[in-house]
Structure 1
Amino acid sequence: MADHFSAAVDFSSWFWNGVFFAWCGYILLSHIPAAVRARLSLHRRRFSLKSDDLCPSVTIVKPLLGDDGNLNDNLEGYFKLDYPSNKFEILFCVMDPDDPAKAIVDSLIAKYPSVDARLLTGGKHIGINPKINNMHVAVSGARHDFIWLSDSNIMVRPENLKELVACLDPTVGLVHQLPYALPADSFAALVDKIYFGTQHARVYLVADMLKRNCANGMSWLLRKSALEEVVGGLAAFSEYLAEDFFIGKTLWERGWKLSLCSLPALQNPSATVTSLSRFRNRMIRWTRLRASMMPFPGLLEPLTECIFLGIFASIAASRIFNCCVLTFFVLQSIVWFLLDYHLMSCVENGPLPSMWKVICAWLVRELWTIPIFVESLCSQRITWGGHLFQLEFGGHSVKLE
């Protein structure tokens, strides 16, 4: 009896060691399809329309809140788009008529009178999501079927709109962009950039390659008629804070294709608002949101990170192959970093900061993942847009103040 029990324990130990070791290899190797997807899809010009008359008409909607210091530069790019001027309109939205963004928009409209641009104030309160409340009037009143929704901190290139519409065909309901960041001008900005160029890019690109919903609402082109197939249209998603996830999920479930644009969405926040504290708060907020929407995958998130997974994989490897735990952990971390660095270079499509800066910022982000995850489990409340919300399972939220 004792021999049978001992054999069962040994089998269980070998089984779980094998599972952890195999899972580590699977996550590590997921860098490869992500890098391949980045090489084949990103920074590849697709626009090929010979005549401006063939360009579809687009409404650009920009929900704004305050001025972070780079707002003027970020917004001016939309007035300089390489796109027929009679084929797009820009609708800027602010809730408060005294919002600092209003003066910037007014000056840009005066500076570019040939561009069809308007400022809408007041919004419409239809739910707890402040972004949807801000832009609902603009989306409802958009003159064109294609709507480019873009956050205030996104900087665009002149060819950005052409590359978005190049992904359209009659089956595409949404064109999204991989979130990334402009060259970092501070250590905190580099940590942020590394997150979007490594862990986030890996999960995003693999999900896109597998044709799963991964669309992020920082910058995307929506087919308004597809959105209005849902009863209530945009308003139907106003009870969610992560409206982008549910919009993408709904369109995908209705048979619409989600297409990845060749150009990443470049975040360009001012250095005055970029800090490690801001990065930490952002990660905690997003982790809590994901856990409220998908509790089981959310709890497994640490098992997709280098440090946490590496510890378990190293222990498993030592028991399976009788190797040194520390040696395996160090080697695994080096390989992971090199794969991350290569993936980030694919997304960047240009020179990265010095290797030592990248290594330091990468280590900070990786070592911070577990404390951030643990802290995110301690509450279901988040602060967003100056308001406090209570998260509920299924993605719904309640505004507390």
Structure 2
Amino acid sequence: MLNSLLVINYPSLIINFFSLVFFILTLGSIVYYLYSLYSCYRFFSQKEEVNVDFSPPISILKPLWGLEYNLEENLTSFIIQNYPQYQIIFCVRDKHDPVILLVEKLINRYADRDLKLIVNDRIIGYNYKVSNLANGLKYCDYNLILIADSDIEVKEDYLKKIVQPLQQEKVGVVTCLYQSLSHNFTGIIESLGVACNFIPNVLTARQLEGVKFAFGSTILIRKKILEKIGSFERIANSLADDFLLGNLPTKLGYETVLSNYIVKHQITEEIFNHYLKRQIRWFRCIRVQRFKGYLGMIFTYGTINSIIFCLFNHLSFFSLIVLIITLSLKLLLNYKLSFKYLNNDTIIQYLGLIFVVDLIRFYIWSIALFGNKIKWGNNHFILKSNGELSIDS
């Protein structure tokens, strides 16, 4: 009799334990979605006044490699800015790169603009983009340096608006969100991931702890601050060069500001497997730079957490109610972003895929949680604990 009372039903205990874990995770997701709604509202409701008298000259660095999708339109959008004084330094590493012909064509077409092509194969680290930037820096004539990736397209008022936060001396860096545009399957998945996962994650982090990061879509930095953090040589072996250009100045007491100007990111067509590998590389980069924040991302996957909670509870009435609440908040957040704030036709058309995107991104998050090997271009690297790269031999 006593022995039968002491028998422990281990399978039941395990199921109850994981049921409790995923219930807590789901509650965390519900709180996250509610706070994200608030964070998005706060960000998109703010208005930045444009002081037309504040227009300091800007040097734009454009690192280039190859002929990307929509490249001519992207570069042209930076050339035709409605801004009094700026220059663009096009930085190319390989003298045989076909992008050189395109840049020369643009320079001839816009002969009245201050455009320079710099071809230099000097390498200062494993991050070739940073080497490109370093090679172009000495040709920058002005005290404000703008770095923007080649797959970014902007409107003519871009410079006029993003420079405004620099009226305050304590502001050292300005960066921008981006929304991705595409019409192929992989690109649509990425577009939805950016709008429905990445943007709310960023705005929630901004609301909680301020901005301590930057994105390659736009990094406008004071030259003196770039020099104080060690210039491009400091980040030449780092995968997270964009993050560091926004993060390192904050450690010196300067502010990084997230402008409410949102640029367009033009996605080239690629096979799904390449997309997965690129995302895993990027997620591993986040894990190394912000490990606690990376673990906290588990709360952003409310779709996964609530479904698993339902399964552990055999689709009980209570678990289904929790699932419906979670999915409704997820849908509401993404609906607000898509229709009210971003007005992105691609996202609006394929909004029903957001739950599929959650599954894909959760898979990427899980895979990137382990391991430190990445493939970047034709090279294989080890991602070290300090975020720097070393060759994988």
AA in 2 matched with 1:22: L
1:177 correspondence with 2:176: yes
Q: Which residue of 2 aligns with 1:200?
A: 198
1:76 correspondence with 2:70: no
Partner Cα separation in structure 2 for residue 67 and residue 109 of structure 1: 16
Instruction: State the 1:336 CA deviation.
Output: 1.1
AA in 1 matched with 2:75: L
Paired residues of 1:207 and 1:213 also in contact (CA < 8 A) = no
- Cα deviation, 1:296-345, whole Å, max 9, x if unaligned, reads 443443332132222355579x69xx734345324422331222221233
- Cα deviation, 1:274-312, whole Å, max 9, x if unaligned, reads 443343222211111122223344344333213222235
Instruction: State the 1:35 CA deviation.
Output: 2.1
Q: Which residue of 2 aligns with 1:47?
A: 50
- Cα deviation, 1:101-131, whole Å, max 9, x if unaligned, reads 1110000000000101001111432112111
Q: Which residue of 1 aligns with 2:34?
A: 29
RMSD over aligned Cα atoms? 3.0
Partner Cα separation in structure 1 for residue 61 and residue 40 of structure 2: 32
TM-score (norm 1): 0.86
Paired residues of 1:64 and 1:101 also in contact (CA < 8 A) = yes
Instruction: State the 1:176 CA deviation.
Output: 0.3
Alignment length (residue pairs): 383
Aligned with residue 115 of structure 1, among 86, 99, 113:
113
Instruction: State the 1:48 CA deviation.
Output: 2.5
Q: Which residue of 1 aligns with 2:64?
A: 64
TM-score (norm 2): 0.87
SS at match of 1:302: helix
SS at match of 2:146: strand
- Cα deviation, 1:337-394, whole Å, max 9, x if unaligned, reads 222221233441x35348562203x132112123223333453222223322111112
Check 1:209–1:388 CA distance in 2 against 1; reply closer, same or farther (3 A cut): same
Aligned with residue 325 of structure 1, among 305, 312, 319:
319
Matches within 5 A, 1:124-273: 124-168=122-166, 169-182=168-181, 184-210=182-208, 211-230=210-229, 232-270=230-268, 273=269
Partner Cα separation in structure 2 for residue 374 and residue 206 of structure 1: 21
Partner Cα separation in structure 1 for residue 179 and residue 105 of structure 2: 28
Partner Cα separation in structure 2 for residue 103 and residue 13 of structure 1: 59
Paired residues of 1:294 and 1:394 also in contact (CA < 8 A) = no
Is there any run of 5+ residues in structure 2 with no aligned partner, and where? none
Q: Which moved more, 1:58-67 or 1:209-218?
A: 209-218
- Cα deviation, 1:142-184, whole Å, max 9, x if unaligned, reads 11110110001001110001011112121110000012223x3
Paired residues of 1:123 and 1:136 also in contact (CA < 8 A) = no
Is there any run of 5+ residues in structure 1 with no aligned partner, and where? none
Aligned with residue 345 of structure 2, among 343, 348, 352:
352
Q: Which residue of 1 aligns with 2:386?
A: 394
Partner Cα separation in structure 1 for residue 388 and residue 196 of structure 2: 29
Matches within 5 A, 1:253-332: 253-270=251-268, 273-311=269-307, 314=310, 323-332=317-326
